[in-house]
Structure 1
Amino acid sequence: MIWEHRPGSIVMLTKLVEGGKRKCELYWPEKVGDTFKAGCGIHVQYKEVVPFADFEIKKFIVTNDQKPKVPALEVQHFQFLSWPDHGVPKFSTALISFIRRLRQYHNPQSAMLVHCSAGVGRTGAFILLDSMLEKIASESSVNVYECLTKMRQQRIHLVQTLVQYVFIHDALVELVTCGDTSVPAKALRGHIKKMVRNIPGGDVSGFTAQFRLLARVSRKPSDSDNSEGLAPHNKDKNRYPGRIPYNMNRVRLKPTGVSGAEYINASFLDGYKQKNAYMAAQAPVAATVNDFWRMVWEFKSRAVVMLCQLEENGQEMSHQYWPTQLKAKQLYGKNSVTLISEEHPFGAKEIVVRKFEITDEKNTAVFTVTQYHVLCWAEEGKMAAGLLLQMISDLNKLQRNTENKPITVVCNDGMGRTGAFICVHAMLDRVNSEHILDFFQFVKSSRINRPDIIREEVYIV
C-alpha cells in the first residue's frame, strides 16, 4: 500500500504494545541503519530517528527490486506516544505541538497515512482535529459535526467515543484562545521589542497580556491533584503549604515501609526532546536533606542546578544539604557524600561549581554529582544572560557524558527560578535544532506537570 500510493508521511497514534496487549506489529527495522524485507521485492531501510518528549520522527527509504526504474520513496514516520486507546491525551498541548511539527515536514502534495490500532478511534480523532486546524487557518471557522458526518460516510466508526469528540472541541478552543506563539530565532530581538510595548488599545505590555493569558489557560490544581503532598505526614517536607507537586508525575522515591517515605517535593518535567529530562525540586528543608540525596542517588542524577542562596533577605531558601569540608565524607541517611572540589570556573564569584562523590551504605556503586550553585539570581529578579549561557554550555557537556539522566534543578520552591531556568535550557535546545522557540507553550506544558512554573512575570521577560 505504501509503495503503490506513495504517502509522504505516516502518522502512528499507538505504541506497539499498550497495557500488555499487542496493538501493532513492528513494520520497520528494529535498528537505525538496518533494512527490512517486506515481501514482493520491497525493502524498507531505517535511516534515522529523532526522539521528542511525546513523539518520535523516523525516516524510512522504501525501494522495490521488482520496480528498479521507479525512484526510491522517502517516508517520514511520526509516532505520537501519549495517546491511550479509547481515551484521549490528558491535555491537548502536546498533540497540537505534534500536529504543527508534522505540518512543517509533510509535503502537502502527497498523501498522509494515519493509523492507530483499529484505525477508527484515535485515527478519526486525529484526522478530524487536523482538518479543523487547517480549516481555522484558511477560513477562520469550523463545523466539527458536519466534518465528522462526512468522514463517517467514508469510513465507519471514526471517533469512537464521546470523550474523543469533546477532546477535539477542547483542543480547538485552546488553539483559538492561545494562537500561534512560536517565534523564529532570527526574529526574537524584534519580537521582544514588540512585546515590551503596550498592546494596541491597551494599557499593559505584550508580555503582561501573555502572562495573564497563561494564568487563564494553565491547569488549575485541586486538593485531589496534590493530595499526597498535603497529607499530614508530609506537611514538614514542604517549605510553602500552597506550593505542592501534582500526584500524577511527582518524583517518587523507593518505599521504605515508613508512611510518606516515598514523598519529596519534586516533579518530573519534560525537555525539548527528552521525557522527564528534569527533576524540578524545592530546595531541601531540614526534614528532607536525606531524601534529597536519596532522590539524586535513585535516579542517578549527575547534575544539580541550585538557583538560590541558603538565605535571602533573612529567610531560609535552602537548608545546608552538602558537606563543606573538602575530602570529608558525610552521611545523609543511607548515602554518603564527599565534597571533592569547589571552584569558580566561569571567572565570576556568582557561580560556584562543586563536585561530590556519592555512594550508598554498601558501596555498591559510586558516581560524581556536579552542583552548579548560582548566587546572583534574586527570587523575583533576573540572572546575567552571559553567565547563564556559559553555565548551560558546561552543563550540556556534562550531560552528554552521563547518559542524559535527569537534571535536578532547585530553588526555594522549585517553581519560580527553577521553571525559568528549565524553560531557557529547553528553548536553547530547540533553537539549536529548529531555529524556533515557543516560551508560551513550553511554560503551559510545564504547568501541566508542576503548578506555578514561572510564577512571576519578570521571569517571562
Structure 2
Amino acid sequence: MVNLSLEQCCVPPSFKEAVVRPILKESGLDKEVLKNYRPVSNLPFVSKVVEKVFETRLENHHTTNSLHDNVQSAYRACHSTETALLRVHHDITVALDSNCYAVLLMLDLSAVFHVIDHLILIKRMEYSCGITGTTLNEIHLLFGVPQGSVRGPKLYCIFSRPIGEICKRHNISYHCYADDTQVYLVFKPLDNWTNISKRLEAFVADISKWMCSNMLKLNEDKTELIVFAPKIRVKDLSNLNLNFGGNVVSDAECVKNLGIYFEKTLAMDKHLSAVSKSCFNQIRNIGRIRSFITEEACKTLVCFLVTSRLDYGNALLYGLPATSIQRIQRVQNTAARVITRKRKYDHITPILKSLHWLPVTYRCQCKLMYVFKALHEEAPVYLQELVHIYKPMRALRSENAMILTTPRVGTKTYRERRFDKVAAVLWNDLPSDLRNIHSIKCAKYWPKSVTKPLAVNNYIVTMKEEREHTVYVYRLLTVLNKNDTNVPERTIHHFHFTQWPDHGVPDSIKLVSFYRKVKIEKCCQNGPMVVHCSAGVGRTGTFIAIDALYENGKNVGYVNVMEYIEMMRKDRMNMVQTYEQYEAVFEALLELFTVPETSIPKNDFCKYISDQEHKTLPRNQNMYKVQFQRLEALRPLYPQSAYIAANSKENIHKNSAKKIFPHDRYRPYLMSYGKTRNNYINAVIIPGYEEKSKLLVTQCPLEETVVDFWTMVYDHESEIVVLLDQLNRNAPLWSGRQKVLEFEQFTIVQDNASNSDELQLTLKHENQGERKITVFTTNKLNTTSDAMLPTNILLDLLKNVKNCWEEHKGPITVVCSDGCSKSGIFVALKLILEKLAIDDEIGIFQVVRTIQVRRPEFLMEFDQYEYCYKCIKDHLENDSLYANF
C-alpha cells in the first residue's frame, strides 16, 4: 500500500498528520523562554512506515548516484560521531606531527531544524539530487523539520550540502555531523597570522551570506575557535580572533567537540577529568543502592551509566602516557569493586577477569576494529582513505599477507596518536590468518605449531601434538605459569570441532562422533571441561545440553530436554539459541541412546572381522546383519514435499527410475542451462572428508538429459567422471576419437583411443573456455549384471580415481544406470577410505548412514553392505596396494 501510494504520487491525508509537541531541550531551562523548546513530531505508526519507505528510497537514490557528502557523518550506516572525531583528530595530529599549527573552527547553526525553508529544500532536492514529483507540490507548513520525523534528518543533510561546497571553494578542510560543522585549516609557523585570519573571516562571511539567503543563522554562543600547536611551540602562539557580523570569536584554551574536550596540545587532560568526575558521581549513586540490588542488576547499571562514558571516544586516547590512562583505569577499578563488593586493596586483575572486562588500555585499541571495517568497506570513506595494503615492488610472500603500509612520521610526541600509524602497527601485529578473515569472531589462543610456544602474560602455552581428523582437530597443549615455579606444567586436551556450519547445525552423526571422542579421552586432572564457541551460548549450550542430558539419562532412564535448557538459561542467557539447535539436542540424544559406536581402529580391523566371521551365529544375528537392520530402521523417510523439483511436470520424465529422486536440499543446481532447459538434473551432492572432495552422483543420461549432464559437469567444475554402467545407446556422451559431438551450447571431443579404460575428453562451452575431462570406464564394470564385482577390480578403480583426483582436486561425477545401486557402493568405499586415511579407523556404518541422508536408496541390499566390509578387509590385507593408495 505504501509503495503504491508513492508510485501514484498520492498519499492518503491521514498518513501525513502528526502532533508536534514542544519539549524542553534540557532539564532546568527556563520554561518561559520559547527558544528553550524543541518541536518533536509524534507520528502515528503508519506514518512512520511511510516515512521509512521514503527515507530508504532516498538513501538508495543517493548511494546509487554518489550524491552523499563523504564527510557528513550523520544519519548514515557505518558512520557515527566517533568516526567523525577519529578523522578530525587524525588530521590534527598529522599537522602537529609535521610541526605545523591547526585551526579548528566549530560552527553551530541556531535552531536549524526549526527554520528550514521547504521551498528551498524542494528546489535543492530537484536540482542537486534530481528528485521531482507531484508529491512535492502541496506544502502547508512553510518552515521547519520537526524532530522525531523519520525523514527529517535526511532532508536536513540535503538542505545543508552547499556548506561543503563553500569549504571546498575556500580550500578549507571540514567535517560535518548534522548541524555541527567542524572546519580546520593547517598552516606553518612562518605563515602570516593576519592572512590566516583574513582567510577564515572570508570563509565565515561566505557562510553567513549563504545562511542569510537560506533563512539560517549561526549560533554565536556555540561557535568556537581553537588553535592547536606542538608542545614546543605552544608558547609562540599568537592570539587569533575572527570577526563576523560584528561579533568576535577568540582563540579558546579548550573546546568541546561532539562530546569530547580538545585542548591546544591534544593532551586530553580536561576530557579525562570530566569523564572521571561524571563516572565517579554515577558510581557513588550506585554504591548507595548496592545492598538492595543483585550483582547482575548492579553490573547492568554500571555498563549503562559508567562503561558507556569510558568507552565513548576512547580511540582518541590511544598513545597517551600511562599516567593519563591510569586516571580512567581507576574509574573502571572502582566500578568493578562496587559490583563485586571487593575491598579497596584487593588485587584488581582477578576482579576484572571475573567480570570479563578488558582494562582501559586494551579497550582503547578499538581502532583495530575500524581497520577491519575499513578494509571490508564497512567504515566511512574518510577512514578507508587512511589504510593502504602494502604492495611490494617485486613478487614476495608478503604480497597476500594483508599487511598495511606504515607511514613515516615526524615527532615522537604525536606519532603514536595518528590513526594511520597506530592502526597499521596494531593490524600488522595480528597473525596472518586473522588478517585474512572476512568477519571477526574469536582469537586463536593456542600456538601456531609445535615448535613455537605462545607467551600470554605470565603463561607459556606449548603445543606438543596436533592431529587433524575428519570432523575435528585434536591438540595436546601444556600450560606453565612462570610466576609459580612450585606448580608443574598442566596438560590440556584440546578438541576443536570443525564441522559446525556458519548457519544451521551439523549432522547429528558427526556431532555424536565428536562427542564420543571427547568423552573417551583420559585426563589426569579432575577439573571441569571447558566448552566454548564464538558467542558462548548457541553451539556451546547445545554441546553442554547433550553431555549433561546423556550422562543423566544413563543413570535415571529418561531425559527432560526442555526443563534442563530452561535451567541452563537461568545461569547464562540464550543457551541453545535457535530452534535448529534445540532440535539437534534431541537428534544427538536419540543417536547416543540407540546407536552404539561401530568404528574400528585400522590395526584391529582384520582381526576383528575374522573373529566375527568365525562366530557360530545364525546369519541374521551376525555383526553385518545386526548393523544392516539398524541401518534399515534409521534410513531417512522424506515426504513428497522434499522432492518438489523432481516431481514437477517439466522434470518427471527426466528420471530414469520411478522412485529414485534427488532431495531438493541436496541436489546440484544447473546454472548455464539453455533457454529450453531449467536447473534440474537427477543427481545429488555427497561431500567428502578431504578438502575439496565432493561427489556428484547421477543416473546414466537419457536422450533428452545428455545436455543436462554436461551442464552439471561444466557448472560444478568436475574434471573426473566415473562411469559404472553401460550408457544408453540413444544417449551417448561422446562420439569417438577425434569426432565432435554437439549438445546445444556444448561441444565434446574424445582425445584418445576408445579401448582405453581412461578416456580423455575436451568439453567446450560456446561462450566460455574449454575443460579437459577424464572418464574412467572399464569393460569389467560396464555390465548389466547385478552380481558383485571382484574386490580387486573396484579397489584398482578407486586407486586410479584417487591418483587422478590428487592432480585436479575437484568434484568427481559418479554415474550408474539408476544413480544409486552401483554408485552407492563406489561412494561408500571412496569415503570409507578417505576417513581411514585421516582418522586411522574404519567407520563403515557411520559412512553409509551419512550418505543415506543425502540419498536414502543407497545400499538397499544386505549383500552390498557386507561387500563393503569385504573390500576394506582385502584392501588392508594387500600391503602393496595400501602402500600405493
Aligned partner of 2:802 among 396, 403, 410:
396
Distance 1:337 1:358 in 2: 5
Q: Tell me, yes or no, if the aligned pair for 2:748 and 2:763 is still in contact at 8 Å.
A: yes
1:238 paired residue number: 655
1:118 aligns with 2:535: yes
1:78 aligns with 2:496: yes
Whose strand fraction is larger, Structure 1's or Structure 2's? Answer: 1
Deviation (angstroms), 1:217: 0.9
1:428 paired residue number: 833
Amino acid at match of 2:494: Q
1:372 paired residue number: 777
Alignment deviations for residues 397-422 of structure 1 (CA, whole Å, 9 cap, x no partner)? 111111x2111111111111101111
Aligned partner of 2:731 among 292, 306, 319:
319
1:359 paired residue number: 764
Distance 2:738 2:726 in 1: 23
Q: Tell me, yes or no, if the aligned pair for 1:198 and 1:204 is still in contact at 8 Å.
A: no
Amino acid at match of 1:82: W
Q: Tell me, yes or no, if the aligned pair for 1:279 and 1:409 is still in contact at 8 Å.
A: yes
2:668 paired residue number: 251
TM-aligned CA distance change 1:413 to 1:318, over 3 Å: farther
1:50 paired residue number: 468
SS across alignment from 1:96: helix
1:7 paired residue number: none
Deviation (angstroms), 1:42: 6.2
Alignment deviations for residues 205-264 of structure 1 (CA, whole Å, 9 cap, x no partner)? 543443232122121121110111111111221101211000001011105474751111
Decide which moves more: 295-304 or 167-176: 167-176
- TM-score of the superposition, structure 2-length normalised? 0.43
1:440 aligns with 2:858: no
SS across alignment from 1:371: strand
Aligned partner of 1:407 among 803, 807, 812:
812
Q: Tell me, yes or no, if the aligned pair for 1:380 and 1:456 is still in contact at 8 Å.
A: no
Deviation (angstroms), 1:199: 9.1
- Count of equivalent residues: 429
Higher radius of gyration, 1 or 2: 2
Alignment deviations for residues 104-144 of structure 1 (CA, whole Å, 9 cap, x no partner)? 667474653212343233312211213444567x7594544
1:295 paired residue number: 712
Aligned partner of 2:742 among 317, 322, 331:
331
Alignment deviations for residues 383-404 of structure 1 (CA, whole Å, 9 cap, x no partner)? 21112222211211111111x2
Structure with greater contact order relative to length (CA < 8 Å, sep ≥ 6)? 1
Decide which moves more: 139-148 or 409-418: 139-148
1:284 paired residue number: 701
Deviation (angstroms), 1:449: 1.3
TM-aligned CA distance change 1:107 to 1:62, over 3 Å: closer
Q: Tell me, yes or no, if the aligned pair for 1:60 and 1:74 is still in contact at 8 Å.
A: yes
SS across alignment from 1:112: coil
2:516 paired residue number: 100
Q: Tell me, yes or no, if the aligned pair for 1:42 and 1:62 is still in contact at 8 Å.
A: no
TM-aligned CA distance change 1:322 to 1:174, over 3 Å: same
Distance 2:838 2:549 in 1: 28
TM-aligned CA distance change 1:31 to 1:253, over 3 Å: farther
SS across alignment from 1:176: helix
Amino acid at match of 1:328: K
TM-aligned CA distance change 1:256 to 1:191, over 3 Å: same
TM-aligned CA distance change 1:340 to 1:206, over 3 Å: same
1:313 paired residue number: none
Amino acid at match of 1:78: H
Q: Tell me, yes or no, if the aligned pair for 1:255 and 1:261 is still in contact at 8 Å.
A: no
Amino acid at match of 1:428: L
SS across alignment from 2:530: strand
TM-aligned CA distance change 1:166 to 1:459, over 3 Å: same
Q: Tell me, yes or no, if the aligned pair for 1:269 and 1:277 is still in contact at 8 Å.
A: yes
TM-aligned CA distance change 1:108 to 1:168, over 3 Å: farther
Distance 2:718 2:841 in 1: 29
- TM-score of the superposition, structure 1-length normalised? 0.77
Distance 1:428 1:454 in 2: 17
Amino acid at match of 2:835: R
Q: What does 1:106-255 correspond to in 2, within 5 Å?
A: 107=523, 109=525, 111-134=528-551, 141=557, 143-144=559-560, 155=572, 158-160=575-577, 164-189=581-606, 191-192=608-609, 203=620, 205-254=622-671
Distance 1:49 1:253 in 2: 37
SS across alignment from 1:114: coil
1:304 aligns with 2:718: no
The Cα RMSD (Å) is 4.2
Deviation (angstroms), 1:57: 1.8
Q: Tell me, yes or no, if the aligned pair for 2:636 and 2:853 is still in contact at 8 Å.
A: yes
Distance 2:722 2:653 in 1: 23
1:8 paired residue number: none
Distance 2:635 2:594 in 1: 12
SS across alignment from 1:125: helix
Alignment deviations for residues 302-348 of structure 1 (CA, whole Å, 9 cap, x no partner)? 211111123xxxxx599321222x12232233222221124777xxx
TM-aligned CA distance change 1:397 to 1:143, over 3 Å: same
Amino acid at match of 2:742: L
Alignment deviations for residues 62-107 of structure 1 (CA, whole Å, 9 cap, x no partner)? 778966977597663413433566x654x52221122234446674
Amino acid at match of 2:741: Q
SS across alignment from 1:330: strand
Deviation (angstroms), 1:354: 1.2
1:269 aligns with 2:680: no
Q: Tell me, yes or no, if the aligned pair for 1:233 and 1:260 is still in contact at 8 Å.
A: no
Deviation (angstroms), 1:167: 3.7
Alignment deviations for residues 173-199 of structure 1 (CA, whole Å, 9 cap, x no partner)? 233322222233344445545666899
Identity %: 24
Decide which moves more: 212-221 or 224-233: 212-221
TM-aligned CA distance change 1:149 to 1:238, over 3 Å: closer
Distance 2:768 2:574 in 1: 58
Q: Tell me, yes or no, if the aligned pair for 1:289 and 1:321 is still in contact at 8 Å.
A: yes
Distance 2:484 2:711 in 1: 60
Amino acid at match of 1:432: A
Distance 2:660 2:836 in 1: 31
- Residue segments in structure 2 that go unaligned for 5+ positions in a row: 1-348, 354-432, 867-885
TM-aligned CA distance change 1:319 to 1:188, over 3 Å: farther
SS across alignment from 1:401: helix
- Residue segments in structure 1 that go unaligned for 5+ positions in a row: 5-15, 311-315, 346-351
